[in-house]
Structure 1
Amino acid sequence: MRSRLGVTPRLARWLYTLTIYLLSPLIWWRVWREWAPTHPRRERLGLIRVGGGRPRLWLHAASVGEVVTATPLIRALLDDHPDHDLVITTMTATGAERVRQTFGERVSHHFLPLDFPGSARRFITRLKPRLAIIAETELWPNLLATCQRRNVPVVVANGRLSAGAFRLYRRFGALSRGMLETVAWIGAKSTVDSERFLALGALPSRVAVTGALKFDLDVDEATREASRRLRASWGERPVWIAGSTHPGEDEQVLAAHTVLKRHLPAALLILVPRHPQRFEEVNAYCCEVGEQVQRLSIEPTLTAATTLLLGDTMGDLMTLYGCADVAFVGGSLVPIGGHNLLEPAALGVAVVSGPYLDNLREIADTLAQSDARIEVEDGQALGEALVALLSDDERRHRLGEAGQAVVAANRGALARTRRAITAQLAASTEH
């Protein structure tokens, strides 16, 4: 089928490939920094080493956020298919580190190859997966085309398309349609996401609304106990956390902390920047504005004079959320689109966010409608909300309990996705 401009999906992919070849120096420079000592950079060209003779399942989770969201699904795949090896790919080094910390030797990890035809071909030829699972929506035309040629079914789990992503995919209509027509099954996280996939060319018989995998977040007892021990070591003081913050947001968070300390001088802020490459920069800024900073990577034990704990380690965000009375979730006071609101909610911690929540609008609205989230416009409003919540135990506990109830009531996406994956595996075996 041709687009209105007469471009077929095949021609669109040819033009896309030509473009990425022309841009290859820039693309290679961009991914050069996303490197881990245990993974040679040649993996970006599909030159991976795989061992063993067992069948393989392949799951791709682009970065830390996708790995966190996909963690319940990864655990389910390990339980459901013990006769398969599970291979996880990420695009970023931080995502790779999160996979290593969470799963260790239970899974294999590689970096996703760049989407050149030869790289995609080498990767699929060497990996030989029985099924490819894409967490959320990072779709690469040549990789999907290679999967189709090699008869590898592709499943999209927790599929989401923000308004911005939808507009971008729609601009390249023939290319998007060509990709989506090759996908065996899409588990959309909401009705809106489902409608957007269909509008881009996904086949109606292959799209289902599963709900969001993030609701199936499982907080283990070890994490809860680590939170209790850490919080107890700090004594009796109000504690709030700003998790997954971005440039332009840290300043507003510190302004809010200044407002809070005027009312509650003993208040402690746990500040966790989203990206580890910003740890040093954020630490310097916090010291510059007069905060008494302790770094988690150096010593989690605080003194009474400590006003700010910098969460400069990887994999500890859930533990730190569990230490807090109130959680502000970052990426929402600046136009990033928001991060996982359900992590603190699942722990019964009162949730506050900014207004920029395009990446998880339905989840944000569900929490707000259940009086389980407070929205603020800027750092001053955040400070005022913190004063109100930390001065009112009953209201704060009510907000936290409402968040836990929302998480419990909306579970189920994991079970639906597991059933679809098992069905796709069975169908691929029959063929």
Structure 2
Amino acid sequence: MTRDTSADRPALFHIYRAATALLAPFAFRKVAGKLAEHGVSPERQRERLGYASLPRPASTTADGTHKPLVWFHGASVGESLAALSLIDKLLPRLPQAEFLLTSGTASSADMMAKRLPDRCRHQFAPLDASGPVRRFLSHWKPDAALFVESELWPVTLDAAKREGCKLALVNARLSAKSIERWKSKPAVAAFVMQQFDVLLSQNPEMGESLIELGASAERVHPSGNLKAGSAPLPVDRAALEAVRTALGRRRVWIASSTHRGEEQAVIAAHKALLETDPSLCLLLAPRHPERADEVADLIRKAGLTFAQRSKGEALTSDIQIYLADTLGEVGTWYALSPIVFLGGSLAPIGGHNPFEVAQAGSAVLTGPGYSNFAETFPPLIAAGGAVEVQDGQSLAAAVQTWLSDCSALDQARDAARSVVLSQAAALDGVVDLLIETLNLQGPAPSRPRR
């Protein structure tokens, strides 16, 4: 039943809702253009306007049992993977439930197409404007909605709540800048936070920030990082063996998800390492493959040889850096080497997902800027599963230590895996809390007749 709470909405919310309704056609033109650049069909682009491209699953079984539809929303790949970790745990617990996962990027849609389990489908999220949101909710009619990390869309949350949808914020993580922006609009911040029936923060500090923004303290629970429970990244065995064959007896280390301003340090580190092991190979995978030409220029200026994967260039014995400028293959590269430097940490980005590295059996190197995983890296570093470096020189030293001491490397790999397993095990309690708070209890599993 629709619940009208218009009197509870702050004036700034009404202004925002009116503005987004007016700007929706222009916003759609922009986001549709980005999707089109990645080959997304016009029909699927219109999902951003709330027009579904898939039918809603039946709301009841043949015997009349209710089948809840649980909606997860994450911005892009990382958030969608966090959502999948929860969906994978909910599937066996809720045998009658169906799942909908929405996101906003073509890359997340591509990944979900490969990794979605049974009873789950993907759509692009509606723009946060009255028309798209109304069409979306009218079609899908979700029983519960779980928003991942920092997805705080006022119009969507308000409309879903008015339709009787139970709401959760999971894996909550807001940047310091975002928190300050919300604090500057306290009435709207409190209104948004109060829409949620439960809020799961990545760490206690974030939980306190949510309460300061207006969330009810009894609804806020620290949960750890849901990405700890994500399934391991897929590995292309044929591609993996092809690269291994090309390398032969050469050793290799990985620099993954690097950003502008980091490749210089990585290349300098590799150049130093080549003085000790001239046959050593670096596989360099920039976070954004469209920067490949820029990265290639940096390698040339450093006087090193390289092959570019997107161009099909061969990884021959004289190649010092293999530039892996492709999408969707990072799981394959993590399986290639037990030493992985994670980018986004020497530059002020916030770091990237160490769970995927540890799940692949590798040890982790990171810069100091891992604020997006502030609850994960400290215990990982304390256990010895990760090492923090400051620049190219310390990165080279850390890689050299592990290359020259197999026992130390094996201990680091085991420690990384152990930390991730312990954090993943803690997610079972999170699932129990969500099922209870969002009223998702399914019928007891049927027992075989005697």
Asked if Structure 1 and Structure 2 have the same fold, meaning a TM-score greater than 0.5 normalized by the shorter chain, the answer is yes
Q: Does structure 1 residue 241 correspond to structure 2 residue 254? A: yes
Q: Take 1:291 and 1:33, find their aligned partners in 2: how far apart are those partners?
A: 38
Q: Does structure 1 residue 320 correspond to structure 2 residue 323? A: no
Matched ranges for 1:260-275 at <5 A: 260-275=273-288
CA apart distance, 1:169 = 2.2
How many residue pairs were aligned?
423
Helix, strand or coil: the match of 1:410? Answer: helix
The residue aligned with 1:89 is 102
Q: Take 2:242 and 2:182, find their aligned partners in 1: how far apart are those partners?
A: 45
Farther off after superposition, 48-57 or 278-287: 278-287
Helix, strand or coil: the match of 1:201? Answer: coil
CA apart distance, 1:57 = 1.9
Matched ranges for 1:114-133 at <5 A: 114-133=127-146
Q: Take 2:310 and 2:153, find their aligned partners in 1: how far apart are those partners?
A: 37
The residue aligned with 2:10 is 10
Out of 17, 35, 40, the residue aligned to residue 37 of structure 1 is: 40
Matched ranges for 1:28-427 at <5 A: 28=28, 30-35=30-35, 36-38=39-41, 39-55=43-59, 56-103=69-116, 107-219=120-232, 223=235, 229=241, 232-233=244-245, 234-283=247-296, 285-286=298-299, 289-297=302-310, 302-426=315-439
Identity of aligned residues (%): 32
Q: Take 1:102 and 1:163, find their aligned partners in 2: how far apart are those partners?
A: 32
Matched-pair contact (CA < 8 Å) for 1:98–1:314: no
Deviations 1:90-140 (A, max 9, x none): 111111111112228763221112111222111111111111111222110
Give 1:158's aligned amino acid: N
Q: Take 2:342 and 2:309, find their aligned partners in 1: how far apart are those partners?
A: 19
Q: Which runs of 5+ in 1 are unaligned?
A: 1-6
Q: Take 2:413 and 2:394, find their aligned partners in 1: how far apart are those partners?
A: 20
Q: Structure 1 residues 26, 348: closer, same or farther in 2, change over 3 A?
A: same
Give 1:31's aligned amino acid: V
Farther off after superposition, 386-395 or 299-308: 299-308
Q: Take 1:417 and 1:373, find their aligned partners in 2: how far apart are those partners?
A: 26
Deviations 1:34-79 (A, max 9, x none): 3142453322221223314424221112111112333322323343
Give 1:45's aligned amino acid: L
Farther off after superposition, 62-71 or 331-340: 62-71
Deviations 1:301-353 (A, max 9, x none): 73212222233333321221121131111111111111112221233322111
Matched-pair contact (CA < 8 Å) for 1:50–1:127: no
Give 1:346's aligned amino acid: Q
Q: Take 1:355 and 1:173, find their aligned partners in 2: how far apart are those partners?
A: 32
The residue aligned with 1:3 is none
Helix, strand or coil: the match of 2:374? Answer: helix
Helix, strand or coil: the match of 1:362? Answer: coil
Farther off after superposition, 50-59 or 130-139: 50-59
CA apart distance, 1:280 = 4.8
Q: Take 2:151 and 2:399, find their aligned partners in 1: how far apart are those partners?
A: 36
Q: Structure 1 residues 427, 346: closer, same or farther in 2, change over 3 A?
A: closer
Give 1:51's aligned amino acid: P
Matched-pair contact (CA < 8 Å) for 2:102–2:125: yes
CA apart distance, 1:230 = 5.5
Q: Take 2:346 and 2:14, find their aligned partners in 1: how far apart are those partners?
A: 40
Deviations 1:222-247 (A, max 9, x none): 74967974564232222111111112
The residue aligned with 2:446 is none
Matched-pair contact (CA < 8 Å) for 2:170–2:199: yes
Farther off after superposition, 382-391 or 283-292: 283-292
Matched-pair contact (CA < 8 Å) for 2:40–2:106: no
CA apart distance, 1:27 = 4.0
Helix, strand or coil: the match of 2:171? Answer: strand
Q: Structure 1 residues 184, 314: closer, same or farther in 2, change over 3 A?
A: same
Taking structure 2 as the reference length, the TM-score comes to: 0.84
Helix, strand or coil: the match of 2:11? Answer: helix
Deviations 1:399-431 (A, max 9, x none): 22221121122223431232233224536999x
Farther off after superposition, 280-289 or 327-336: 280-289
Taking structure 1 as the reference length, the TM-score comes to: 0.88
Q: Structure 1 residues 165, 227: closer, same or farther in 2, change over 3 A?
A: farther
Farther off after superposition, 363-372 or 419-428: 419-428
Farther off after superposition, 70-79 or 419-428: 419-428
